Amino acid sequence: MTDLLVRGGIVVTTDGAARADIAVEGGRITAVEPDLGGLAASAREAVDATGLLVLPGVVDVHTHVRVATDERPDRFFDDSVAAAFGGTTTFLAFNNPGTGSSEAAARSLLTGLREWRAATGADAAVDVAPSLVITASHEDPVAEIPAVVEAGVPTLKAFMVYDFGLDDAAILRALEAAGRAGGMLQVHCENRAILEALTARHLAAGEIEPRFHASSRPPYVEAEATGRAIALARAARAPLYVVHLSSADALAEVRRARAEGLPVFAETCPVYLTLAEDRYLGDPEEAARYLISPPLRPADHPGALWAGLAGGDLSIVATDHVPDRVGVEKQSWRESFDRVSNGAPGIETLLPIVYDEGVATGRITLPRMVDLLSTTPARLFGFTTKGALAVGLDADIVLFDPAARRTIRGADLHHSSDYTPFEGREVHGAVRSTLVRGSFVVRDGLFVGRRGFGRFVERAIQQLA
């Protein structure tokens, strides 16, 4: 018995886009054919997708969605609803300090995993998974990594910066342990010594406003660390995933490694693809909205990143969603730029921005967009039932209207932040409906999902080539 037919839309895969029907049964795709009209009479429901693009649900592999607290019991749920409105059917969240994890989780990866599952198990509207952050306070992360991978969490993350970051020796050990266990380490690549020195120089000169953020950590600070992480991964004989690559300089390091055939993968984010460092020059309260790390770059960098996406040196676009609020967390800009919590919200705007700035402008093709947002994220991060519209996979489906025009407004978004870095941007295209495992979560622009419907996804990396 077919539960659902999606008929008449343009189905997009990494190979192309063509008119096709999709049949769904038990939450999985059972057929993708040019015409499944023969099933129409017996199907429980048929949805007319004429004029719409039918896309696999987006897999956002970089978010800092925060678990619920007594003060903010809805924040995880709210961000998961926002994901659905943006066409994201699965997201991965880090449990780094500040996202709601405990002291005990700061000492043990496995405790952190149990805690995250308990804290999120009844909250998600879409499917979710954690990526565990290894910090300097973990007692023996290398010993725990095999059990973590075995428990369905094959990706872990380390920072080269911040108080909780790891030194090179610890990153080398983590790369080795993750690789040996069939997993992959994600690394935030910036040179801590240089950015601390440049920040101190600004502060000593009384240069405390947000406009000094970009020059406190310029592109060479990222490029040096990216090259160093690649060297560590080479020595470890392990794969490396570079998070939030922001500059042409760091991209050159990744390109060189990939040309040698090393298993080095990098993501970039919508903010780096669409905004430049002139955002820091205006009113400081406005500029504080863009205090992210790495910072926004000179205006010629976004074009280089688009070329990297089109050419294959960059593998994924993810959001680095941080639901900080201008009215709360960002207010510390008044003390100095380096005191501000770094990050910007983006969980609801990934597909809309990449479609508008990438596909509608002709910088990337529609199949390449699906590859960057769904298929490759699912493959590299071990979501074996997600990432494509193919028989046997979860029926995570987005109905997208390419003819729509809309203006992005923070007030219209559903996340737990209070702003968007894309305020006022007019975009081509709009998400109409989002299905997770065959069930509508957003339907014709309305939330029809359920808190707790989203599942924890056990992952297993199968191939990285």
* Site for Mn ion, rule CB under 5 A: 188, 320
CB of 453 to Mn ion, least distance (A): 26
Q: How would you class 456 by CB atoms within 10 Å of its CB: exposed for 0-12, middle for 13-18, buried for 19 or more?
A: middle
CB of 244 to Mn ion, least distance (A): 6
Q: How would you class 259 by CB atoms within 10 Å of its CB: exposed for 0-12, middle for 13-18, buried for 19 or more?
A: exposed
State residue 22 phi and psi, 5-degree precision: -125, 135
Q: Which is nearer to Mn ion, 269 or 372 (CB)?
A: 269
Q: Which is nearer to Mn ion, 127 or 320 (CB)?
A: 320
Q: Which is nearer to Mn ion, 138 or 363 (CB)?
A: 138
CB of 134 to Mn ion, least distance (A): 14
Q: Which is nearer to Mn ion, 64 or 437 (CB)?
A: 64
Instruction: State which residue has the least CB distance to Mn ion.
Output: 188
Q: Which is nearer to Mn ion, 55 or 350 (CB)?
A: 350
State residue 99 phi and psi, 5-degree precision: -100, 5
Q: Cα(315)–Cα(372) distance, rounded to whole angstroms?
A: 6
Q: How many CB atoms lie within 10 A of CB 153?
A: 28
CB of 366 to Mn ion, least distance (A): 27
CB of 292 to Mn ion, least distance (A): 9
CB of 189 to Mn ion, least distance (A): 9
| Encoded tokens for 462 | 């199968």
State residue 228 phi and psi, 5-degree precision: -70, -40
Q: How many CB atoms lie within 10 A of CB 162?
A: 16
Q: Cα(386)–Cα(21) distance, rounded to whole angstroms?
A: 18
Q: Which is nearer to Mn ion, 313 or 320 (CB)?
A: 320
Q: Does residue 63 contact residue 348 with C-beta atoms inside 8 Å? A: no
| Encoded tokens for 377 | 């994220």
The one-letter code for the residue type at 392 is G
